Structures are given as C-alpha cells and as structure tokens.
Amino acid sequence: MKGLPMLFFGGENSHTFMHYDIDLGNIFHFHFEGEKECILFPQSETKYLYKVPHSLITHESIDFSNPDYEMWPVLKQANGFRTKLKHGEVLYMPEGYWHYMKYSTPGFSMSLRAIARNPKNLAKALYNVLVMRHFDVMMRKIKGQKWIDQKNKRAISGTNFLKTG
C-alpha cells in the first residue's frame, strides 16, 4: 500500500457521483459511524453506464440508489455490486472500479490506496492524468457550457444504441 490515507465525511443522504478514480487505484475503504450504501461496477460495464466522454463520471442525472430504467434503459444490462457498510466494516474496491456512495446516516470513511497493477489500467491511468484531463480543461475554456452540454448528450446517445428489447 502506498499513498496517504484519505478521509471522507458525509451528512445524511449526501452522495458522490458514480465515478472511478483518475489513477484506477486499488482501494481499501474503511467505514465508521452509521451506514453507507455502496454501488460498484467493474470497468467492463462502462459501456452500459452512460459515461460522460472525457471524464470519470456517468451522467449526473442518474440516481444510482433508485435508478429510473425508463429513462436509463441500458443501465439494466450492467452487472455490478451493491452493499451497505456499517461501523467498522471494510470494502475492497478492485482497481478501476466505478463507485457510488450514499450516506444513509451521517458518518465518515477512510481510504487506503495502491496504484493499478494491471498494465491496461495503468495505461488508462496515465492517459487520464497526462492527456484526458488537460484536453477536457482546454475544451471547457474554449467552448464553455456548450462543451459540457455536448458531452452530456453524447453520454446518452453513446449508450442508448446498446438498448435491447
């Protein structure tokens, strides 16, 4: 394990966006106080998650704790994991896993991380840090809100074509 432990605090019903970490690290997530809902997806499911291009998040309007499958039909095809963490429990998130966390009650957590070991994930991490992030910042400067709207639209069109039935 390398790197400094990170602390996260959350109030009741606060949540993170569904995202994966820029370095696709391996994470041990320790939870303290109360209860927290965690939803995870491996990278293999990315195509079903309405990922926003040039970012590390899915479309921000999806409520992963109670998804509207009429609005996000392809999400039904994604195979993930759901659990609830209670005081003193630890969750291992394999490298690059997507994660969404919602604090059912106020609480806090601590993460310990190690860099990606799978060469494919390590390459993706380097691309994210060295290319994707800078490209996105540059496009935001040039195109502003239009760039963001365009990416959100592409998150939907780029996923919905996988719709079955």
Angstrom distance (rounded) from CA 33 to CA 44:
32
CB of 111 to Fe ion, least distance (A): 8
Sheet of 35-41, strands arranged across: 81-86, 35-41, 98-103
Taking the least distance from each CB to Fe ion, the nearer of 25 and 59 is 25
21 binds Fe ion (CB under 5 A): yes
CB of 9 to Fe ion, least distance (A): 14
CB of 155 to Fe ion, least distance (A): 19
Taking the least distance from each CB to Fe ion, the nearer of 24 and 78 is 24
Q: Which residue has the tokens 């991380």?
A: 113
Taking the least distance from each CB to Fe ion, the nearer of 64 and 71 is 64
95 binds Fe ion (CB under 5 A): no
CB of 30 to Fe ion, least distance (A): 14
Taking the least distance from each CB to Fe ion, the nearer of 21 and 95 is 21
Number of residues that bind Fe ion (CB under 5 A): 1
**Chain residues in the site for Fe ion (CB under 5 A):** 21
